């Protein structure tokens, strides 16, 4: 974390951080699931209560049998424990992030049960909006509570919609939140990204890139709100931009965040306990006024 990020945590009296430890996937050529991009911690996180987060690709559960699921539970617990011990983290909770399907739910839920039996930790799982609406099909994970990911609900495309949050899309799911048979926290989007468009198609996502990267650069021209055109081919932020490429910036305004919380209040019977903000990064945080997070939390009934 940089000084600005630390200051925001202090100003908002934050004491809990969800910290991504690693992903589980099949790296190129691997026949067994393995940790991908494990975390490297180079600062003191002693002041914070840490909830480790492990993201598991859905295809892992498409390939593993029951015995493999049990082995993976033991291996993940061992690696999480190793990270905790190395950095003197006293974590008594863990969160699993997986976009499971009807086909993989039985093995994913078995994994959670196996992990619980081994660790006795409190467990949460990320929940997508479609899993709330169609929970009779996708099932309810055997966890202590869920974290509803209230973002990435639209299509990534070249139109004028916002793939991070679209009210019209959210309204197709909101009415089902209240009846979801699992306690929920809600994760709100504060991230920003760009879509690089070439020859009418989305070419790639531009993570951690916002308006300021393009506004004062003579290689780019603002053509309308949230859109830029590439005037001269160039490298920027580790990406190559070709002449005539288009950049579409997608972000969530403060008004959007207030609107989301109001929708959650109306459709959850005011039973949401905690709000999470995704994710902790100065590029994201700098979009908003200093007191935005306190205002949002106060708005949660």
| Encoded tokens for 27 | 């790296």
Residue 250: predicted pLDDT: 95
**For the chain, how long is the longest CA-to-CA vector?**
58
Q: 154: pLDDT confidence band, cut at 50, 70 and 90? A: confident
Q: Per-residue DSSP letters for 194-237?
A: EEEEETTEEEEEEET--THHHHT-TTEEEEETTEEEESS-EEET
Residue 195: predicted pLDDT: 96
pLDDT tens-digit readout, 173-222 = 999 999 999 999 999 999 999 999 999 999 999 998 888 899 989 999 99
Residue 278 CB contacts under 8 Å (≥ 6 apart), including other chains: 149, 151, 187, 188, 189, 190, 191
Rounded Cα–Cα distance for residues 285 and 254 (Å): 11
- How many Cα atoms occupy the beta-carbon half-sphere of 69 within 13 Å? 20
- Contact between 272 and 185 (Cβ < 8 Å): yes
Q: 101: pLDDT confidence band, cut at 50, 70 and 90? A: very high
Region 121-136: mean pLDDT is 96
CA 265-156-141 angle, 5° bins: 50
CB atoms within 10 A of CB 212: 11
Rounded Cα–Cα distance for residues 264 and 266 (Å): 5
| Encoded tokens for 270 | 């005011």
Rounded Cα–Cα distance for residues 248 and 40 (Å): 32
Region 72-93: mean pLDDT is 96
Q: Per-residue DSSP letters for 235-267?
A: EETTEEE-TT-EEEEE---HHHHHHHHHHHHHH
Per the prediction, the chain carries an average pLDDT of: 94
Residue 50: predicted pLDDT: 96
- Contact between 119 and 158 (Cβ < 8 Å): no
Rounded Cα–Cα distance for residues 260 and 22 (Å): 29
Residue 29: predicted pLDDT: 80
From residue 232, alpha-carbon distances to 26, 211, 217, 244 in Å are 39, 18, 10, 8
Residue 77 CB contacts under 8 Å (≥ 6 apart), including other chains: 115, 118, 119
| CATH 3.40.1030.10, applies to 3-192+250-299 | no
Residue 47: predicted pLDDT: 87
Task: Report domain extents, the chain.
Answer: 3-192+250-299, 197-246
Residue 58: predicted pLDDT: 97
Residue 278: predicted pLDDT: 96
Rounded Cα–Cα distance for residues 130 and 22 (Å): 25
| Encoded tokens for 107 | 């093995």
Region 45-67: mean pLDDT is 95
- The rounded Cα 199 to chain-centroid distance in angstroms is 29
| Sole residue written with tokens 């200093």 | 290
- Contact between 281 and 5 (Cβ < 8 Å): yes
Rounded Cα–Cα distance for residues 294 and 279 (Å): 16
| Sole residue written with tokens 């209560």 | 49
Region 90-115: mean pLDDT is 97
Over 80: is that where the pLDDT of 270 sits? Answer: no
pTM of the model: 0.93
Residue 171: predicted pLDDT: 94
């Amino acid at each position: 974390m940089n000084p600005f990020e630390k200051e925001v945590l202090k100003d908002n009296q934050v004491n809990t951080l969800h910290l991504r430890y690693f992903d589980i996937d099949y790296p190129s050529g691997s026949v067994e699931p393995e940790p991908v991009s494990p975390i490297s911690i180079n600062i003191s996180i002693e002041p914070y209560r840490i909830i480790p987060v492990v993201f598991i690709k859905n295809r892992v559960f498409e390939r593993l049998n029951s015995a493999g699921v049990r082995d993976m539970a033991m291996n993940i617990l061992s690696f999480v424990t190793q990270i905790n011990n190395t950095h003197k983290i006293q974590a008594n909770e863990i969160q699993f992030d997986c976009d499971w399907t009807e086909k993989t739910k039985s093995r994913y839920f078995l994994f959670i049960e196996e992990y619980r039996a081994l660790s006795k930790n409190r467990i949460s799982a990320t929940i997508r909006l479609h899993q709330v609406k169609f929970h009779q099909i996708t099932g309810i994970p055997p966890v202590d509570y869920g974290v509803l990911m209230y973002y990435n609900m639209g299509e990534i495309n070249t139109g004028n919609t916002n793939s991070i949050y679209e009210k019209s899309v959210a309204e197709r799911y909101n009415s089902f939140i209240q009846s979801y048979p699992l306690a929920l926290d809600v994760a709100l989007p504060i991230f920003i990204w760009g879509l690089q468009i070439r020859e009418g198609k989305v070419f790639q996502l531009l993570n951690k890139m916002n308006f300021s990267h393009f506004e004062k650069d003579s290689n780019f021209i603002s053509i309308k709100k949230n859109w830029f055109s590439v005037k001269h081919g160039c490298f920027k932020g580790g990406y190559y931009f070709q002449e005539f490429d288009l950049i579409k910036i997608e972000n969530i305004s403060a008004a959007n965040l207030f609107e989301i919380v109001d929708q959650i209040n109306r459709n959850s019977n005011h039973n949401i306990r905690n709000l999470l903000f995704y994710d902790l990064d100065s590029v994201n945080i700098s979009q908003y006024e200093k007191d935005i997070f306190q205002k949002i939390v106060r708005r949660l009934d």
